Amino acid sequence: MPELPDIVVYIEALEPRILGRKIERVRLVSPFLLRTVTPPIDSVQGQVVRSLRRIGKRIGVGLENDCWLVLHLMIAGRLYWREPGAKLAARTALAAFDFASGSLVLTEAGPRKRASLHVVEGEAGLQALDPGGLETLGAGFDEFAARLTYENHTLKRALTDPRLFSGIGNAYSDEILHAAKLSPVALTSRLSREEIGRLFDATRGTLQQWIANLRSEAAARFPERVTAFREGMAVHGRFGKPCPRCGAKVQRIRYADNETNYCAPCQTGGKLLADRSLSRLLKDDWPRTLEEFEAMKRK
């Protein structure tokens, strides 16, 4: 799922292409994409784009008639800039927003269509779609600490809760926690002030670094290699590969459609966190350390 750094770079790429330009036509391929009926989608045609904004993991496109197009790409949604009136691929295209200078095409890979488009009126309509998470790049330490400890959650859950922190998901939370040398299952209520300080610095530093990395990668081109698994990540998507800090193999916890990646020596004092499915199967035989885990695999 595109997260804060990806959305920032998407918006920066859209600004010179659509800001101040008129939407000539909207082509909806999938009727399930549009999640609102008032105002109608036809009301945005012929309108000039006046602003672009990130709302958590969503992209807001503000129009001169005070309507907003709000796109949520979810897990597999992606944006592409194509020639005007570009032909749409039947299997993946969801919509196209046609301008005189080009077409902004929204696609989604796979059979499960989760991406969404809302058309809303004014700031009130826009704010109704904002979960209210803290913008960490503009927040101070005390504000960050208060939001982090407002409820008692694991660090992984707290960082990825859009009501608590804006724009952070599965991928960058793994990277933030590795940079902070903190366990994904540590409880927010038990963190020391020094640990919260490490997390605050790691959150800001990781997001800023990846914004810079993605800007450099895209250069003047439209970003088309948006993925949750990137070269240069320390732990996310790197299960079984060496941690760049200590060289130990990166571990994971799998649940539903997601997984948490971490380095045991760097983040959990060497303790192997229990994977739900495997630990239920192995019960008392579940290894507690990396050494036990490696020995078990050699048997």
pLDDT tens-digit map of 2-49: 999 999 999 999 999 999 999 999 999 988 999 999 999 999 999 999
Query: What angle separates helix 170-180 from helix 193-218, to the nearest 10 degrees?
Result: 130
Domain end (from 127, 153, 168) = 127
| 227 and 182 fall within a common domain | yes
Domain boundary residue among 109, 127, 145? 127
One domain for residues 80 and 210: no
- Considering the domain architecture, whether residues 108 and 25 belong to the same structural domain is answered as yes
Over its C-alpha atoms, the chain yields an Rg (Å, rounded) of 21
Q: What is the pLDDT of residues 63-85, one digit of tens each?
A: 999 999 999 999 999 999 999 99
What's the confidence (pLDDT) of residue 181? 98
Query: Are 22 and 145 in a shared domain?
Result: no
Mean pLDDT of all residues in 163-186: 97
> Given 127, 153, 170, which residue is the final one in a domain?
127
Question: Is residue 86 located within the same domain as residue 153?
Answer: no
pLDDT value at residue 278: 45
C-alpha to C-alpha distance for 62 and 64, rounded to whole angstroms: 7
Structural domains in the chain (count): 2
Binning pLDDT at 50, 70 and 90, where does residue 113 land?
A: confident
Is residue 104 domain-shared with residue 199, that is, in the same domain?
no
DSSP 274: P
25 and 69 share one domain: yes
Are 117 and 148 found together in one domain? no
8 Å CB contact between 98 and 25: yes
Determine the average pLDDT of the residues in 138-142. Answer: 97
pLDDT of res. 31: 85
**Per-chain mean pLDDT for the chain:** 91
State residue 276's pLDDT score: 55
**Please, which pLDDT band fits residue 229 given cuts at 50, 70 and 90?**
confident
- Measured CA to CA, the distance from residue 61 to residue 47 in angstroms comes to 11
- Position 256 confidence tier, pLDDT thresholds 50, 70, 90: low
pLDDT of residue 11: 97
Separation between Cα atoms, residue 80 and residue 95, nearest integer Å: 11
Spatial separation of the C-alpha atoms in residues 245 and 133, rounded to whole Å:
31
User: What per-residue confidence (pLDDT) applies to 299?
Assistant: 43
How far from each other are the two terminal CA atoms of the chain, in whole angstroms? 38
User: What's residue 110's pLDDT?
Assistant: 80
Residues 116 and 156 in one domain: no
Given a cut of 90, is residue 92 above it in pLDDT?
Answer: yes
pLDDT over 60 at 90, yes or no: yes
CATH value at residue 38: 3.20.190.10
Check residue 86 and report its DSSP letter. P
CATH of the domain at 198: 1.10.8.50
Q: Which residue has the higher pLDDT, 179 or 296?
A: 179
The answer on 57 and 14 residing in a single domain is: yes
The greatest distance separating any two alpha carbons of the chain, rounded to the nearest whole angstrom, comes to 68
What is the extent of the structural domain holding 47?
4-127
Residues 116 and 166 in one domain: no
Confidence of residue 225 (pLDDT cuts 50, 70, 90): confident
Residue 119 and residue 168 in one domain: no
Q: Does the pLDDT of residue 155 top 50, yes or no?
A: yes
Q: What is the pLDDT of residue 157?
A: 95
- Provide the 8-state DSSP code for 98: E
195 or 293, which is more confident: 195
